[in-house]
Amino acid sequence: MSARSYGGTEKELNGKLVILDTMTVECFYTPEITSADGLMLLDDGSKWEIMNNPEDIERRHQFLKFKIQRVVGDA
């Protein structure tokens, strides 16, 4: 698995510029990963939600690519 943040994603919210913690993930293909799933990074215990449907790169069933966003709080 590789995960790259590129500094997050900039978004304007209520007239202010905010930076969301986002990452792009590439991993081996498995049909079990869906946009309804979440991830937890083992190195720091942070929780993330999948923002889009994972893309089967070139539809070859070898690699998936998707974007995740950090979940803050327990709500």
Q: Mind listing the pLDDT tens digit for each residue in 54-73?
A: 999 999 999 999 999 998 86
Region 24-45: mean pLDDT is 94
pTM of the model: 0.81
Q: What is the mean pLDDT of the chain?
A: 90
Measured at the CA of 72, the angle between CA 69 and CA 75, to 5 degrees, comes to 115
- β-strand 63-70 against 16-20: which pairing, if any? unpaired
Domain ranges across the chain? 2-70
Residue 5 amino acid letter: S
- pLDDT given at position 36: 95
Quick one: which H or E segment has residue 3? Answer: strand 2-4
